[in-house]
Amino acid sequence: MSPLTDLLRGLQKKKEKLAWSAQADEAFERIKQAMASAVRSAFYHPGQPLALHTDASNTAIGAALSQRHADDDWTPLGFFSQKLSPTQQRYSTYDRELLAIFEAIKYFQRILEGRSFTIMTDHRPLSFALEQKSDKFSPRQSRQLDFISRFDAKIVYTPGDENPVADALSRIDAITMPTTLNSGPNQRGTAEGRTTNTSPRQGETQASRRRPKRPEAIPTRESTPTGFRHGSHTLSHPSGRATVKRVALLYFWPSMSKDIVRWAKQCVPCQQSKVHRHNRAELGNFVTPDGRFDHVHIDIVKMPLHQGFQNCLTMIDRYTRWPQAIPIGDMSAQTVAKAFFHGWISFFGTPLTITTDQGAQFEGKLLAQLCKLVGAKHVPHQPVPSSGK
Protein backbone atom coordinates (compact mmCIF):
# COMPACT_ATOMS: atom_id res chain seq x y z
CA MET A 1 0.00 0.00 0.00
CA SER A 2 2.88 2.38 0.71
CA PRO A 3 4.12 2.67 -2.94
CA LEU A 4 0.59 3.55 -4.03
CA THR A 5 0.27 6.35 -1.51
CA ASP A 6 3.66 7.99 -2.15
CA LEU A 7 2.27 10.11 -4.98
CA LEU A 8 -0.65 11.36 -2.89
CA ARG A 9 1.59 12.13 0.07
CA GLY A 10 3.69 14.35 -2.17
CA LEU A 11 0.64 16.50 -2.85
CA GLN A 12 0.18 17.29 0.85
CA LYS A 13 2.37 20.34 1.09
CA LYS A 14 1.61 23.26 3.33
CA LYS A 15 0.60 26.62 1.89
CA GLU A 16 0.33 25.23 -1.60
CA LYS A 17 -2.72 24.63 -3.72
CA LEU A 18 -3.55 20.97 -4.31
CA ALA A 19 -2.50 20.13 -7.87
CA TRP A 20 -4.66 17.16 -8.83
CA SER A 21 -3.46 15.34 -11.93
CA ALA A 22 -4.32 12.28 -13.98
CA GLN A 23 -1.54 10.32 -12.23
CA ALA A 24 -3.00 11.22 -8.83
CA ASP A 25 -6.46 10.15 -9.97
CA GLU A 26 -5.08 6.81 -11.20
CA ALA A 27 -3.21 6.26 -7.93
CA PHE A 28 -6.36 7.04 -5.96
CA GLU A 29 -8.38 4.45 -7.92
CA ARG A 30 -5.65 1.83 -7.43
CA ILE A 31 -5.67 2.49 -3.68
CA LYS A 32 -9.44 1.97 -3.56
CA GLN A 33 -9.13 -1.33 -5.44
CA ALA A 34 -6.33 -2.48 -3.14
CA MET A 35 -8.37 -1.66 -0.04
CA ALA A 36 -11.44 -3.43 -1.43
CA SER A 37 -9.46 -6.58 -2.22
CA ALA A 38 -7.69 -6.53 1.16
CA VAL A 39 -10.90 -7.04 3.15
CA ARG A 40 -12.51 -9.47 0.72
CA SER A 41 -13.17 -12.86 2.33
CA ALA A 42 -11.52 -15.86 0.69
CA PHE A 43 -12.48 -19.53 0.54
CA TYR A 44 -10.96 -22.19 2.76
CA HIS A 45 -8.05 -24.16 1.27
CA PRO A 46 -7.26 -27.54 2.88
CA GLY A 47 -3.73 -27.94 4.13
CA GLN A 48 -3.06 -24.25 4.79
CA PRO A 49 -2.59 -23.01 8.39
CA LEU A 50 -5.50 -21.31 10.16
CA ALA A 51 -5.35 -18.50 12.72
CA LEU A 52 -8.13 -17.06 14.86
CA HIS A 53 -7.40 -13.48 15.97
CA THR A 54 -9.52 -12.39 18.96
CA ASP A 55 -9.77 -9.26 21.06
CA ALA A 56 -12.12 -7.72 23.62
CA SER A 57 -12.85 -4.17 24.69
CA ASN A 58 -15.00 -2.80 27.49
CA THR A 59 -18.17 -2.99 25.39
CA ALA A 60 -17.69 -5.63 22.68
CA ILE A 61 -15.69 -8.63 21.48
CA GLY A 62 -14.38 -9.35 17.99
CA ALA A 63 -12.54 -12.01 16.02
CA ALA A 64 -11.19 -12.67 12.54
CA LEU A 65 -10.52 -16.10 11.06
CA SER A 66 -7.59 -15.99 8.61
CA GLN A 67 -5.59 -18.46 6.54
CA ARG A 68 -2.03 -18.24 5.24
CA HIS A 69 -1.77 -18.85 1.49
CA ALA A 70 1.12 -19.63 -0.84
CA ASP A 71 2.22 -16.00 -1.02
CA ASP A 72 2.85 -16.09 2.76
CA ASP A 73 0.07 -13.57 3.32
CA TRP A 74 -2.88 -13.92 5.70
CA THR A 75 -6.27 -13.79 3.97
CA PRO A 76 -9.47 -13.39 6.01
CA LEU A 77 -12.09 -16.13 5.85
CA GLY A 78 -14.67 -14.45 8.07
CA PHE A 79 -15.27 -11.86 10.75
CA PHE A 80 -17.15 -11.94 14.05
CA SER A 81 -18.24 -9.12 16.35
CA GLN A 82 -20.65 -9.04 19.27
CA LYS A 83 -21.70 -6.40 21.78
CA LEU A 84 -21.35 -7.32 25.44
CA SER A 85 -24.32 -7.36 27.75
CA PRO A 86 -24.30 -5.12 30.85
CA THR A 87 -23.33 -8.15 32.96
CA GLN A 88 -20.50 -9.13 30.61
CA GLN A 89 -19.19 -5.56 30.58
CA ARG A 90 -18.45 -5.94 34.30
CA TYR A 91 -16.20 -8.96 33.66
CA SER A 92 -12.50 -8.67 34.28
CA THR A 93 -10.09 -8.32 31.35
CA TYR A 94 -9.21 -12.01 31.60
CA ASP A 95 -12.87 -13.06 31.47
CA ARG A 96 -13.69 -10.75 28.55
CA GLU A 97 -10.73 -12.01 26.51
CA LEU A 98 -11.67 -15.61 27.33
CA LEU A 99 -15.27 -14.90 26.34
CA ALA A 100 -14.03 -13.54 23.00
CA ILE A 101 -12.20 -16.81 22.27
CA PHE A 102 -15.17 -18.89 23.42
CA GLU A 103 -17.76 -17.04 21.32
CA ALA A 104 -15.46 -16.87 18.28
CA ILE A 105 -14.89 -20.64 18.28
CA LYS A 106 -18.64 -21.20 18.60
CA TYR A 107 -19.23 -18.86 15.65
CA PHE A 108 -16.63 -20.56 13.40
CA GLN A 109 -17.23 -24.05 14.80
CA ARG A 110 -18.14 -25.63 11.44
CA ILE A 111 -14.81 -24.54 9.94
CA LEU A 112 -12.60 -25.25 12.97
CA GLU A 113 -13.88 -28.72 13.87
CA GLY A 114 -11.31 -31.40 13.06
CA ARG A 115 -8.64 -28.87 12.03
CA SER A 116 -5.57 -27.48 13.79
CA PHE A 117 -5.48 -23.72 14.28
CA THR A 118 -3.76 -21.04 16.34
CA ILE A 119 -5.58 -18.56 18.59
CA MET A 120 -3.96 -15.11 18.63
CA THR A 121 -4.76 -12.98 21.69
CA ASP A 122 -3.17 -9.87 23.17
CA HIS A 123 -3.79 -11.06 26.75
CA ARG A 124 -0.69 -13.00 27.84
CA PRO A 125 -2.23 -14.94 30.81
CA LEU A 126 -4.59 -16.73 28.40
CA SER A 127 -1.65 -18.41 26.66
CA PHE A 128 -1.20 -20.57 29.79
CA ALA A 129 -4.91 -21.16 30.51
CA LEU A 130 -5.13 -24.64 28.97
CA GLU A 131 -2.07 -25.79 30.97
CA GLN A 132 -3.22 -24.62 34.42
CA LYS A 133 -5.11 -26.66 36.99
CA SER A 134 -8.88 -26.50 36.74
CA ASP A 135 -9.39 -25.87 40.48
CA LYS A 136 -8.18 -22.28 40.00
CA PHE A 137 -11.02 -21.36 37.63
CA SER A 138 -14.58 -20.30 38.30
CA PRO A 139 -17.44 -22.49 37.01
CA ARG A 140 -17.93 -20.20 34.01
CA GLN A 141 -14.22 -20.23 33.14
CA SER A 142 -14.06 -24.02 33.52
CA ARG A 143 -17.04 -24.44 31.19
CA GLN A 144 -15.55 -22.17 28.54
CA LEU A 145 -12.05 -23.68 28.73
CA ASP A 146 -13.52 -27.18 28.55
CA PHE A 147 -15.25 -26.22 25.30
CA ILE A 148 -12.06 -24.69 23.88
CA SER A 149 -9.99 -27.77 24.81
CA ARG A 150 -12.19 -29.94 22.57
CA PHE A 151 -10.56 -28.33 19.54
CA ASP A 152 -7.01 -28.80 18.26
CA ALA A 153 -6.06 -25.23 19.14
CA LYS A 154 -3.00 -23.50 20.57
CA ILE A 155 -3.33 -20.12 22.30
CA VAL A 156 -0.45 -17.78 21.41
CA TYR A 157 0.19 -14.29 22.74
CA THR A 158 0.51 -11.52 20.17
CA PRO A 159 0.88 -7.78 20.92
CA GLY A 160 -2.15 -5.60 20.39
CA ASP A 161 -0.54 -3.54 17.61
CA GLU A 162 -0.09 -6.76 15.61
CA ASN A 163 -3.76 -7.67 15.95
CA PRO A 164 -5.55 -4.65 14.43
CA VAL A 165 -8.45 -6.49 12.77
CA ALA A 166 -9.82 -8.14 15.90
CA ASP A 167 -9.13 -4.97 17.87
CA ALA A 168 -11.25 -2.93 15.46
CA LEU A 169 -14.07 -5.49 15.52
CA SER A 170 -14.16 -5.36 19.33
CA ARG A 171 -14.74 -1.60 19.34
CA ILE A 172 -18.07 -1.38 17.57
CA ASP A 173 -19.91 1.88 18.05
CA ALA A 174 -23.14 1.62 20.00
CA ILE A 175 -25.88 4.02 18.96
CA THR A 176 -27.48 5.41 22.10
CA MET A 177 -30.70 7.35 21.82
CA PRO A 178 -30.85 10.53 23.89
CA THR A 179 -33.22 10.39 26.81
CA THR A 180 -35.70 13.25 27.11
CA LEU A 181 -36.29 14.31 30.70
CA ASN A 182 -39.85 14.94 31.73
CA SER A 183 -40.30 18.53 32.81
CA GLY A 184 -43.02 17.72 35.30
CA PRO A 185 -43.83 19.55 38.52
CA ASN A 186 -41.34 17.46 40.51
CA GLN A 187 -38.46 18.37 38.21
CA ARG A 188 -39.42 22.05 38.11
CA GLY A 189 -39.72 22.16 41.88
CA THR A 190 -36.30 20.62 42.26
CA ALA A 191 -34.75 23.12 39.87
CA GLU A 192 -36.42 26.07 41.56
CA GLY A 193 -35.32 24.87 44.98
CA ARG A 194 -31.64 24.83 44.12
CA THR A 195 -29.55 27.62 45.58
CA THR A 196 -26.96 29.57 43.67
CA ASN A 197 -24.99 30.60 46.74
CA THR A 198 -21.52 29.07 46.37
CA SER A 199 -19.74 30.99 49.13
CA PRO A 200 -18.09 28.80 51.79
CA ARG A 201 -19.70 28.46 55.17
CA GLN A 202 -17.94 29.59 58.33
CA GLY A 203 -15.26 27.17 59.50
CA GLU A 204 -14.92 25.45 56.09
CA THR A 205 -11.77 25.28 54.04
CA GLN A 206 -11.26 24.32 50.44
CA ALA A 207 -9.97 20.88 51.43
CA SER A 208 -12.89 20.21 53.77
CA ARG A 209 -15.42 21.09 51.08
CA ARG A 210 -13.92 18.49 48.75
CA ARG A 211 -13.86 15.79 51.42
CA PRO A 212 -17.10 13.76 51.41
CA LYS A 213 -18.93 13.75 54.68
CA ARG A 214 -19.61 10.49 56.42
CA PRO A 215 -23.28 9.94 57.20
CA GLU A 216 -24.20 9.71 60.85
CA ALA A 217 -26.14 6.50 60.35
CA ILE A 218 -25.88 4.04 57.46
CA PRO A 219 -29.38 3.36 56.13
CA THR A 220 -30.36 -0.28 56.23
CA ARG A 221 -31.34 -2.05 53.03
CA GLU A 222 -34.39 -4.22 53.46
CA SER A 223 -33.58 -6.51 50.53
CA THR A 224 -30.63 -7.25 48.26
CA PRO A 225 -31.31 -6.36 44.59
CA THR A 226 -32.75 -9.21 42.57
CA GLY A 227 -29.89 -9.19 40.06
CA PHE A 228 -27.29 -9.67 42.81
CA ARG A 229 -29.22 -12.52 44.41
CA HIS A 230 -29.75 -14.40 41.17
CA GLY A 231 -26.24 -13.71 39.88
CA SER A 232 -24.67 -15.41 42.90
CA HIS A 233 -26.61 -18.63 42.40
CA THR A 234 -27.93 -19.06 38.85
CA LEU A 235 -24.48 -19.00 37.22
CA SER A 236 -23.68 -22.61 38.16
CA HIS A 237 -26.45 -23.36 40.71
CA PRO A 238 -24.15 -24.23 43.64
CA SER A 239 -25.38 -25.48 47.00
CA GLY A 240 -26.70 -23.21 49.72
CA ARG A 241 -23.39 -23.17 51.59
CA ALA A 242 -21.41 -22.33 48.45
CA THR A 243 -23.83 -19.50 47.69
CA VAL A 244 -23.33 -18.15 51.22
CA LYS A 245 -19.56 -18.01 50.68
CA ARG A 246 -19.94 -16.10 47.43
CA VAL A 247 -22.42 -13.57 48.81
CA ALA A 248 -20.40 -13.08 52.02
CA LEU A 249 -17.49 -11.70 49.99
CA LEU A 250 -19.42 -8.47 49.35
CA TYR A 251 -22.49 -8.35 51.60
CA PHE A 252 -23.65 -9.03 55.13
CA TRP A 253 -26.91 -8.84 57.05
CA PRO A 254 -28.24 -10.58 60.15
CA SER A 255 -29.28 -14.23 59.64
CA MET A 256 -27.66 -14.09 56.20
CA SER A 257 -26.68 -17.77 56.10
CA LYS A 258 -30.15 -18.95 57.07
CA ASP A 259 -31.83 -16.70 54.49
CA ILE A 260 -29.52 -17.73 51.64
CA VAL A 261 -29.77 -21.47 52.37
CA ARG A 262 -33.57 -21.24 52.50
CA TRP A 263 -33.62 -19.22 49.28
CA ALA A 264 -31.30 -21.69 47.49
CA LYS A 265 -33.55 -24.60 48.46
CA GLN A 266 -36.45 -22.83 46.74
CA CYS A 267 -34.60 -22.66 43.40
CA VAL A 268 -36.85 -24.41 40.87
CA PRO A 269 -34.08 -25.59 38.45
CA CYS A 270 -32.17 -27.10 41.38
CA GLN A 271 -35.25 -29.00 42.54
CA GLN A 272 -35.86 -30.32 39.03
CA SER A 273 -32.32 -31.49 38.22
CA LYS A 274 -30.46 -32.17 41.47
CA VAL A 275 -30.73 -35.44 43.38
CA HIS A 276 -30.86 -34.71 47.11
CA ARG A 277 -31.74 -38.19 48.32
CA HIS A 278 -29.84 -41.22 47.09
CA ASN A 279 -31.79 -44.43 47.63
CA ARG A 280 -29.89 -47.65 47.90
CA ALA A 281 -31.50 -50.86 46.70
CA GLU A 282 -31.17 -54.04 48.67
CA LEU A 283 -28.63 -56.52 47.44
CA GLY A 284 -30.13 -59.43 45.55
CA ASN A 285 -28.89 -62.75 44.22
CA PHE A 286 -29.51 -63.44 40.53
CA VAL A 287 -28.66 -66.81 39.07
CA THR A 288 -26.62 -66.43 35.89
CA PRO A 289 -28.21 -68.35 32.98
CA ASP A 290 -26.16 -70.93 31.11
CA GLY A 291 -27.07 -70.03 27.52
CA ARG A 292 -28.52 -67.39 25.30
CA PHE A 293 -32.29 -66.84 25.35
CA ASP A 294 -32.73 -69.37 28.17
CA HIS A 295 -34.11 -66.82 30.64
CA VAL A 296 -36.32 -63.93 29.53
CA HIS A 297 -37.89 -61.09 31.56
CA ILE A 298 -41.30 -59.71 30.52
CA ASP A 299 -43.08 -56.55 31.60
CA ILE A 300 -45.63 -54.04 30.27
CA VAL A 301 -44.88 -50.33 29.94
CA LYS A 302 -47.68 -47.80 29.50
CA MET A 303 -47.01 -45.33 26.70
CA PRO A 304 -48.85 -42.31 25.22
CA LEU A 305 -51.64 -43.26 22.85
CA HIS A 306 -50.36 -43.53 19.26
CA GLN A 307 -52.17 -45.15 16.33
CA GLY A 308 -54.41 -47.12 18.66
CA PHE A 309 -51.58 -48.52 20.82
CA GLN A 310 -51.12 -47.37 24.41
CA ASN A 311 -49.06 -50.21 25.93
CA CYS A 312 -45.76 -51.84 25.06
CA LEU A 313 -44.73 -55.41 25.91
CA THR A 314 -41.01 -55.33 26.74
CA MET A 315 -38.89 -58.49 26.75
CA ILE A 316 -35.17 -58.83 27.47
CA ASP A 317 -32.83 -61.80 27.60
CA ARG A 318 -30.85 -61.97 30.83
CA TYR A 319 -27.75 -63.53 29.26
CA THR A 320 -27.25 -61.33 26.17
CA ARG A 321 -29.27 -58.26 27.33
CA TRP A 322 -31.09 -58.38 23.97
CA PRO A 323 -34.26 -56.26 24.20
CA GLN A 324 -37.50 -56.58 22.29
CA ALA A 325 -40.54 -54.27 22.44
CA ILE A 326 -43.93 -54.89 20.83
CA PRO A 327 -46.84 -52.41 20.92
CA ILE A 328 -50.14 -53.85 22.13
CA GLY A 329 -53.60 -52.37 22.24
CA ASP A 330 -54.65 -53.69 25.66
CA MET A 331 -53.18 -55.58 28.61
CA SER A 332 -55.39 -58.67 28.49
CA ALA A 333 -53.82 -62.08 28.98
CA GLN A 334 -54.76 -63.19 25.47
CA THR A 335 -53.11 -60.15 23.86
CA VAL A 336 -49.96 -60.54 25.97
CA ALA A 337 -49.63 -64.27 25.23
CA LYS A 338 -50.13 -63.72 21.50
CA ALA A 339 -47.57 -60.89 21.37
CA PHE A 340 -45.02 -62.94 23.34
CA PHE A 341 -45.46 -65.95 21.06
CA HIS A 342 -45.16 -64.03 17.78
CA GLY A 343 -42.59 -61.46 18.98
CA TRP A 344 -40.17 -63.69 20.89
CA ILE A 345 -40.74 -67.44 20.61
CA SER A 346 -41.08 -67.34 16.82
CA PHE A 347 -37.70 -65.52 16.55
CA PHE A 348 -35.51 -66.87 19.38
CA GLY A 349 -37.15 -70.14 20.35
CA THR A 350 -38.73 -71.26 23.60
CA PRO A 351 -37.02 -69.99 26.80
CA LEU A 352 -36.50 -72.26 29.77
CA THR A 353 -37.58 -69.63 32.33
CA ILE A 354 -39.95 -66.66 32.08
CA THR A 355 -39.84 -63.99 34.81
CA THR A 356 -42.72 -61.52 35.19
CA ASP A 357 -44.28 -59.41 37.90
CA GLN A 358 -47.52 -60.38 39.61
CA GLY A 359 -49.82 -58.57 37.21
CA ALA A 360 -53.21 -60.04 36.41
CA GLN A 361 -52.30 -60.58 32.76
CA PHE A 362 -49.31 -62.74 33.81
CA GLU A 363 -51.06 -64.69 36.57
CA GLY A 364 -53.95 -65.90 34.42
CA LYS A 365 -54.53 -69.41 33.18
CA LEU A 366 -53.79 -68.48 29.56
CA LEU A 367 -50.10 -67.69 30.14
CA ALA A 368 -49.75 -70.70 32.43
CA GLN A 369 -51.21 -72.91 29.68
CA LEU A 370 -48.81 -71.36 27.15
CA CYS A 371 -45.81 -72.05 29.40
CA LYS A 372 -46.98 -75.61 29.90
CA LEU A 373 -47.43 -76.04 26.15
CA VAL A 374 -43.94 -74.80 25.21
CA GLY A 375 -42.23 -76.32 28.25
CA ALA A 376 -41.16 -73.07 29.98
CA LYS A 377 -41.07 -72.35 33.70
CA HIS A 378 -42.95 -69.24 34.88
CA VAL A 379 -41.30 -67.42 37.80
CA PRO A 380 -43.38 -64.50 39.19
CA HIS A 381 -41.19 -61.76 40.63
CA GLN A 382 -41.86 -60.52 44.15
CA PRO A 383 -42.71 -56.80 44.55
CA VAL A 384 -39.73 -54.59 45.41
CA PRO A 385 -40.04 -53.02 48.90
CA SER A 386 -40.22 -49.23 49.16
CA SER A 387 -36.76 -49.06 50.72
CA GLY A 388 -35.22 -50.70 47.67
CA LYS A 389 -36.91 -48.66 44.99
- Could you give the number of structural domains in the chain? 3
In a 13 Å sphere around the CA of 4, the CA atoms on its Cβ side amount to 12
Regarding whether 162 and 57 lie in a shared domain, the answer is yes
Regarding whether 98 and 30 lie in a shared domain, the answer is no
The answer to whether 83 and 173 have CB atoms below 8 angstroms apart is: no
Q: Structural domain of residue 357, as residue ranges?
A: 295-383
What is the model's pLDDT at position 99? 94
Regarding whether 30 and 96 lie in a shared domain, the answer is no
d(CA 185, CA 179): 18
What is the model's pLDDT at position 254? 86
Q: Which among 100, 99, 90, 86 is positioned nearest to 174, based on CA atoms?
A: 86
- In the chain, which residues have pLDDT < 50? 174-178, 181, 183-205, 207-208, 385-389
What SS3 state is found at 62?
A: strand
Q: Which of 148, 169, 190 is the last residue of a domain?
A: 169
Regarding whether 54 and 28 lie in a shared domain, the answer is no
What is the model's pLDDT at position 155? 92
> How many CB atoms sit inside 10 A of residue 39's CB?
9
Regarding whether 366 and 304 lie in a shared domain, the answer is yes
What is the model's pLDDT at position 198? 47
Regarding whether 158 and 115 lie in a shared domain, the answer is yes
The answer to whether residue 331 is domain-embedded is yes
The answer to whether residue 89 is domain-embedded is yes
The answer to whether residue 183 is domain-embedded is no
